[in-house]
Amino acid sequence: MTTPTIELKPSAHPLSDAEREAILANPGFGRHFTDHMVTIKWTEGRGWHDGQLVPYAPLSLDPATTVLHYAQEIFEGLKAYRRPDGSVATFRPEKNAERFQRSAKRLAMPELPVETFIEACDALVTQDKAWVPAHGGEESLYLRPFMIATEVGLGVKPANEYLFLVIASPAGAYFPGGVKPVSIWVSEDRVRAVPGGMGDAKTGGNYAASLLAQAEAAAKGCDQVCYLDAVEHKWVEELGGMNLYFVYGAASNSKPVIVTPTLSGSILEGVTRDSLLAVARDLGYDAVEERVSVDQWQRDSENGSLTEVFACGTAAVITPVGTVKRAGAEWRQSGGEPGEVTTRLRQALLDIQRGTAEDKHGWMHPLG
């Protein structure tokens, strides 16, 4: 199958510089979109074809389009950063492309070649480069590649037509409070994913399933929900849209150890999660993947050996956890303040992403 080349059909009416600058002054998260999008079609027998960069616009879908009924949909999230010299680079796009292929496989969708995924992201960022926020702040350009089943019909089967798209949105802090610690509700009855299910695929259904538990967390006064495993209701998995890390030993003289739950098949393999294993080692910490139970979390926080907890993801970067609640118990992490290890890891990762620290792992993908 040949790799499509993206045909450029740019907008005759992009937003004015002044309108764009007004948005970039306070972008929020996921509220504004750039002037363009990329679309690539797939049909059975023909494969991937008709790659285009076109003005950002609504899609027109038949009401019987299969994605609207059976949720055959997958997505990704990655960011483009402005560097000190004004150039732009994305962070590890091949990791997102590879995960997109794994998600496609799980949802019985066609796999987009890694190079086509990257070509599509590059085309959009290059065209809408003026939308990448200035160097120096927290902001970046968030890219949202996704794929939907576009066959029309109500039969339950893998579709014979798909549409891949990339849209882009200038992004500030994911949480309205910025890097302020968030509070977590540990749900001991709702589960996010089951063994053999699709918890390790990045598909909309997992996020839809998280909304009720998230609303229950909000009713308990918490910002985010934390899921446990679906079998024993004991092992920490992840938050609604982020992985978790536990920091041991930061308050003692020993070397800090950061621990993230082992990928169990029902945990999303986060790119930030993976990157932090390496960044932590670069900073001289130990970094391990291990099962962590909710009882251990509570006990080790109360006895002071577990000093910090943080959530991580592309959208939220690293967000400290301040308060944790579960049925019948509540405790604070690092006095409810961002911990030292959390803060150092966050800074080290952002420095690589923004081009102010050496990219010794070769993670940055410069454009143009």
- The one segment of 10-18, 100-108, 245-253, 310-318 that binds ligand COI by CB under 6 A: 310-318
Distance of closest approach, residue 309 Cβ to ligand COI, in angstroms: 18
Q: Are 220 and 185 in contact (CB under 8 A)?
A: yes
* Separation of alpha carbons 148 and 213, rounded Å: 25
By CB under 6 A, residue 314 contacts ligand COI: yes
Residue type at 130 in one-letter notation: A
By CB under 6 A, residue 77 contacts ligand COI: yes
Burial of 328 (0-12, 13-18, 19+ CB in 10 A): exposed
Site string for ligand COI, 183-212 (x = CB under 6 A): ------------------------x-----
By CB under 6 A, residue 172 contacts ligand COI: no
- The one segment of 183-191, 219-227, 288-296, 309-317 that binds ligand COI by CB under 6 A: 309-317
Distance of closest approach, residue 315 Cβ to ligand COI, in angstroms: 3
Q: What are phi and psi of 256, to 5 degrees?
A: -60, 145
Among 125, 147, 130, 131, residue whose Cα is nearest residue 48: 147
> Which residue's CB is nearer to ligand COI, number 6 or number 268?
268
Residue with tokens 């802090």: 173
The number of residues that bind ligand COI (CB under 6 A) is 6
Distance of closest approach, residue 30 Cβ to ligand COI, in angstroms: 7
> Which residue's CB is nearer to ligand COI, number 74 or number 186?
74
Taking CB under 6 A as the criterion, the residue among 315, 318, 324, 345 binding ligand COI is 315
Q: Using CA atoms in the order 58, 199, 294, 240, what is the torsion angle rounded to 10 degrees?
A: 0
By CB under 6 A, residue 148 contacts ligand COI: no
By CB under 6 A, residue 339 contacts ligand COI: no
Distance of closest approach, residue 31 Cβ to ligand COI, in angstroms: 13
By CB under 6 A, residue 342 contacts ligand COI: no
> Which residue's CB is nearer to ligand COI, number 82 or number 202?
202
Helices assigned H by DSSP within the chain: 17-24, 67-70, 93-106, 114-127, 204-219, 271-282, 294-302, 340-353
Among 188, 109, 186, residue whose Cα is nearest residue 146: 109
* Separation of alpha carbons 238 and 252, rounded Å: 27
By CB under 6 A, residue 96 contacts ligand COI: no
> Which residue's CB is nearer to ligand COI, number 56 or number 207?
207
Taking CB under 6 A as the criterion, the residue among 313, 322, 339, 355 binding ligand COI is 313
> Which residue's CB is nearer to ligand COI, number 309 or number 316?
316
Q: Using CA atoms in the order 150, 155, 158, 159, what is the torsion angle rounded to 10 degrees?
A: -20
* Separation of alpha carbons 161 and 46, rounded Å: 10
* Parallel/antiparallel/unpaired status of strands 236-239 and 364-366: unpaired
Read off the tokens for 309: 């907890």
Distance of closest approach, residue 241 Cβ to ligand COI, in angstroms: 4
By CB under 6 A, residue 14 contacts ligand COI: no
By CB under 6 A, residue 241 contacts ligand COI: yes
Among 223, 276, 234, residue whose Cα is nearest residue 95: 276
> Which residue's CB is nearer to ligand COI, number 25 or number 208?
208
Length of the chain in residues, anyone? 368
Could you list the residues that contact ligand COI (CB under 6 A)? 77, 207, 241, 313-315
